[in-house]
Amino acid sequence: VEITDGYYVDFVWKATSFDRMQSAMKTFAVDDTSLTGYLYHKLLGHEVEMQTFRTKGHAATGLSVPGLPELNPSQLLAVKGVLQQPLSLIQGPPGTGKQNNGQVLVTAPSNIAVDHLTEKIASTGLKVVRLAAKSREAVTSIVEHLTLHTMIKSLVSPDKADLRKLMQLKEDQGELSSQDEKRFKSLKRNAEREILQAADVICTTCVGAGDPRLSNFRFRQVLIDEATQATEPECLIPIVQGAKHVVMVGDHMQLGPVVMNKKAAKAGLNQSLFDRLIRLQHRPFRLRVQYRMHPCLSEFPSNMFYEGTTRPTCIWANYYCSVT
């Protein structure tokens, strides 16, 4: 491509993700009010005893949720186990379906995974809010109607009339006067806080858990999906938000975090927190029924990586098909 004189390109370093990871690590090192204290000593190889939770009657019986399929035995065992301990790992081999009181923070390293989680959780009837980074608010999503920025635009209550007027004015004119801009930001911030406080579940990426809009929230229950694809500092961001009960879902036998810098990867950044805990003998709940692959395809990974413990569900009428 031929570039004429008078043009130049500036590459701007965006450090938000790394700043939040670094902040989480600093908090992790000194915070003893949440589960991070236990994790800190666990990761250093210290002998620490994990407490158990007392569960109510529903934990001892079958668990069914409207809008979701019934759990198979290994899924049910995992759910019951998760309810009884503050830190749980759920290992889900490919296709096994590894998808309380108080607000729950649900995270994953990728936006696609978070959107999928949001959609599934919303189907249960729970109040779910998808918190997206401001830089992604213009990106179309399958859960657009559940995103915080869309909910703000859809507010119709009379007490939000001033906010609606200022939003429309900003959209028409492109900018507001300094006084109107200040009032707009204040009204919007209050509206965002109200929506987030009313939610049963807040879904965002691991890095998104460090969003300033969540700075005054403390989440006792945190779930991290695809945890084996997140770096350790990424996982710490949602955990240091006051977590007392953490569930990490993933599969350390599959691909781990993608770290582009070879030096960082060699130094250990390409190891997930999930994998490190496995190596420290933290036993995961393994899901054993896979719904994705034909039995002929699933047999090899089951025997090679999972000691032959995963089995196909009974949806395949014929194991073999003729090839012409």
Residue 257 lies in a domain: yes
The whole-number pLDDT of residue 154 equals: 86
Q: Do 240 and 263 fall within a single domain?
A: yes
pLDDT at 320 over 60: no
Residues 142, 115: contact at Cβ < 8 Å? yes
Whether residues 110 and 242 share a domain: the answer is yes
Please indicate, yes or no, if residue 5 is contained in any of the structural domains.
no
Tokens at 146, concatenated: 């559940």
Evaluate if residue 115 carries a pLDDT over 90: yes
Nearest to 229 by CA among 73, 312, 138, 107: 107
pLDDT digits (tens, 9 = 90+) for 11-68: 777 789 999 999 999 998 888 777 888 888 888 888 877 777 766 655 545 567 777 7
Spell out the long-range contacts of 76-84 with Cβ–Cβ below 8 A and sequence spacing 24 or more. 77/285, 78/285, 78/287, 80/55, 81/285, 82/247, 82/285, 83/53, 83/55, 83/59, 84/52, 84/53, 84/55, 84/59
* Residue 257 sits in the same domain as residue 300: no
Nearest by Cα to 273 from 7, 35, 17: 35
What is the tens place of the pLDDT at every residue in 221-274? Answer: 999 999 999 999 999 999 998 898 899 998 887 888 999 999 999 999 999 999
Q: Are residues 278 and 152 in the same domain?
A: no
What's the rounded mean pLDDT across residues 189-196?
94
Q: Considering only CA atoms, which of 224, 230, 289 is closest in space to residue 254?
A: 230
Say whether 307 sits in a helix, a strand or coil: coil
Asked if residue 187 and residue 162 are part of one domain, the reply reads: yes
- Average predicted confidence (pLDDT) for the chain: 84
| 20 and 36 co-located in one domain | yes
Neighbours of 245 (CB within 10 A): 21
CA distance 80 to 63: 9
**Number of independent structural domains in the chain:** 3
63 in any annotated domain: no
Instruction: Specify if 4 maps to a domain.
Output: no
CATH of the domain at 235: 3.40.50.300
Pairing assessment for the beta strands 128-130 and 201-205 based on DSSP bridges: parallel
CB 261 within 8 A of CB 239: no
Out of 198, 226, 242, a domain closes at: 198
pLDDT level of residue 173 (50, 70, 90 thresholds): confident
Same structural domain for residues 184 and 237?
Answer: no
Rounded Cα–Cα distance for residues 51 and 86 (Å): 7
Strand-pair partners of 221 = 104, 245
pLDDT grade for 99, boundaries at 50, 70 and 90: very low
Do residues 205 and 90 both lie within one domain? yes
| Residues 39 and 100 both lie in one domain | yes
On whether both 275 and 210 belong to a single domain, the answer is: yes
Strand partners, 147: 130
The domain containing residue 115 runs over which residues? 13-52+69-127+201-287
Residues 262, 228, single domain; the answer is: yes
Average of pLDDT values for 206-233?
94
Please report whether residue 100 resides in a domain: yes
Residue 154 lies in a domain: yes
What pLDDT, on a 0 to 100 scale, did the predictor assign at position 283? 80
* Count of CB atoms situated within 10 Å of the CB of 25: 14
Q: Is residue 96 scored above 80 in pLDDT?
A: no
CB 153 within 8 A of CB 167: yes
Give the model confidence (pLDDT) of 41-51 as tens digits: 888 888 877 77
Percent of the chain past pLDDT 70, that is, above it, reads: 83
Residue 274 parent element (H or E): helix 273-279
For 18-22, the CB contacts below 8 A with 24+ separation are 20/207, 20/210, 20/237, 21/207, 21/231, 21/233, 21/234, 21/236, 21/237, 22/233
Q: Does 76 lie in the same domain as 48?
A: yes
